[in-house]
A = this chain, B = another copy of it.
Amino acid sequence: MKKSNPSQSMVNQSIFDIFSDETISGVAYKNKALKRAIINHLDQTGNTTITDLAAALNISVPKTTSLINELIGDGLVKDQGKVDSKGGRRASLYGLVAESAFFMGVDVKHYYVNIGLLDFKKNLVTSEMHVPYQLANTQESFDQLIKIIQDFISNLPAATRNILAICMNLSGRVNSENGYSYSFFHFHEEPLSTTIEQITGIRTYLENDSRAMAYGEFHRGIVRDEKNVLFVNLDYGIGLGIMINGQIYRGKSGFAGEFGHIPLFTNEIICHCGKKGCLETEASGQALIRLFREKIAQGSSSSLLQHDKLPDPLHLSSIIAATRNEDVLCIELIAGIGEKIGRGISVLINIFNPELVILGGILSETDEYIRLPIRSALNKYSLSLVNNDTQLVMSRLQEKAGVIGGCLIARDKLLSFP
């Protein structure tokens, strides 16, 4: 798992040193562990004084001072000014150096890519949203994606170009432990992450799109102190990102969260997974488009009709826009879908008793049009004692959840943060 980038700066080298897991002798090992703990603590709590750091990590002030000085020498920490005093000498605040490392998130959607860059202090430095792209399981589509990534990097100002890691979010089945993607770009023996690493020269991780969005929302979005959170990604399919005890839950092979394919209905619609009765067959964006077409064929009217014809292809975003413009048919259909999603989520609530359920993904942009039917389905279908515990909220990062989550995963995986 070791990988050093000799071409890169001294700062990077010290990051790799501190976070490598080579076995070294007692004292040196402990110092490295302490440095890691300090970086971790600074990451969690922001700028901190030496006294606080010493108390938090149970090490003495002189020891803390010497470690901090080493980290300053490494270029990873710097003096960030003085604390406001309440009587007594003002303490120096120490914090991470934002520009000492950068991390990249690539959020691959059906018809576009969102791509962004995060610094060491978790600020989103740049992001390019909606870069046109057509996702398909072909070599051409993969090459196109690589080109988008490379263009993004080469357009970056020199100061932000030492990128330590990339995380790419893909829909479908992704094993983020070994870097295999099963639904897309599974062309070689080696894991997809390795292929990308070899092309870009940058350490690469893969993650399922819904999990990455959940992670972003968890760390930089709507979540405050909650530790058990579910993120429901309402898009063409239905995804689920599970955060348990503050960490992503992936299951044995990274296939956890296949919420869209739980057998909740007794219909005859064949899902693209091959089974019948999946939640997705009746409650996804895909289903919404199907239902919409059916209604139109039956003679219903909608603002989306132009000279009695529907745009082709009919994008989900059009239906969402129409809903927000109070198109009656769309509103009705969204309500119907919401009630079914709610029934699905009530299963989750009974099983997880979560603190928070976040509605994200493109369908969540219909806001209350979808939240209210979901909420009332929850009251109908889940145990009230359990349900009362659970808040149902809309995503705060919206379309940026994936990029930010991806960047954070790249960062936290590389630095082996919990």
Per-position contact with B for A17-60: 1 when CB-CB < 8 Å, else 0?
00000000010011001000000000000000000000000111
Q: Which of B173, B259, B390 contacts A252 (CB 8 A)?
A: B390
CB–CB A259/B381 < 8 A: no
Residue A273 lies at the interface, judged by CB distance under 8 Å to chain B:
yes
Near B by CB (< 8 A), chain A positions 260-297 give 261-264, 266, 273, 275, 277
Residue A222 lies at the interface, judged by CB distance under 8 Å to chain B:
no
Which one of A136-144, A310-318, A351-359 contacts B? Answer: A351-359
CB–CB A264/B264 < 8 A: yes
Q: Which of B242, B250, B353 contacts A256 (CB 8 A)?
A: B353
CB–CB A351/B259 < 8 A: yes
Smallest Cβ distance from A61 to chain B, in angstroms? 10
CB–CB B383/A258 < 8 A: yes
Per-position contact with B for A376-418: 1 when CB-CB < 8 Å, else 0?
0000011101100110000000000000000000000000000
Which chain B residue shows the least CB distance to A251? B353
CB–CB B351/A385 < 8 A: no
Smallest Cβ distance from A172 to chain B, in angstroms? 10
CB–CB A389/B275 < 8 A: no
Please indicate the chain B residues that have their CB under 8 angstroms from the CB of A352 in the complex.
249, 251, 256
CB–CB B386/A258 < 8 A: yes
CB–CB A252/B389 < 8 A: yes
Please indicate the chain B residues that have their CB under 8 angstroms from the CB of A255 in the complex.
353, 383, 385-386, 389
* Residue with the highest number of chain B CB atoms closer than 10 Å, among A242, A258, A259: A258
* Given A252-B390, A275-B381, A258-B351 contact (CB < 8 Å): yes
Please indicate the chain B residues that have their CB under 8 angstroms from the CB of A348 in the complex.
351
* Residue with the highest number of chain B CB atoms closer than 10 Å, among A245, A261, A382, A390: A261
Smallest Cβ distance from A258 to chain B, in angstroms? 4
Count copies of this chain in the complex: 2
Q: How many angstroms between the C-alpha atoms of A27 and B264 in the bound complex?
A: 58
CB–CB A252/B354 < 8 A: yes
Which chain B residue shows the least CB distance to A182? B385
Residue A350 lies at the interface, judged by CB distance under 8 Å to chain B:
yes
CB–CB A256/B351 < 8 A: yes
CB–CB A253/B350 < 8 A: no
Please indicate the chain B residues that have their CB under 8 angstroms from the CB of A277 in the complex.
381
Residue A360 lies at the interface, judged by CB distance under 8 Å to chain B:
no
Near B by CB (< 8 A), chain A positions 108-166 give none
Q: How many angstroms between the C-alpha atoms of A261 and B348 in the bound complex?
A: 11
Please indicate the chain B residues that have their CB under 8 angstroms from the CB of A390 in the complex.
252
Residue A191 lies at the interface, judged by CB distance under 8 Å to chain B:
no
Q: How many angstroms between the C-alpha atoms of A333 and B31 in the bound complex?
A: 64
Task: List 12 extra interface pairs beyond A249-B352, A255-B353, CB under 8 A.
Answer: A29-B58, A30-B58, A251-B389, A253-B389, A255-B385, A256-B352, A261-B382, A262-B347, A263-B382, A273-B383, A275-B381, A277-B381
List the 5 closest pairs (A to B, CB-CB), nearest first. A251-B353, A256-B353, A255-B353, A258-B350, A263-B381
A-B residue pairs in contact (CB < 8 Å), sample of 10: A29-B58, A33-B58, A244-B244, A244-B245, A245-B245, A250-B353, A259-B351, A262-B350, A263-B346, A275-B381
What is A's interface to B at a CB cutoff of 8 Å? 26, 29-30, 33, 58-60, 173, 182, 228, 240, 242, 244-245, 247, 249-259, 261-264, 266, 273, 275, 277, 343, 346-348, 350-355, 381-383, 385-386, 389-390
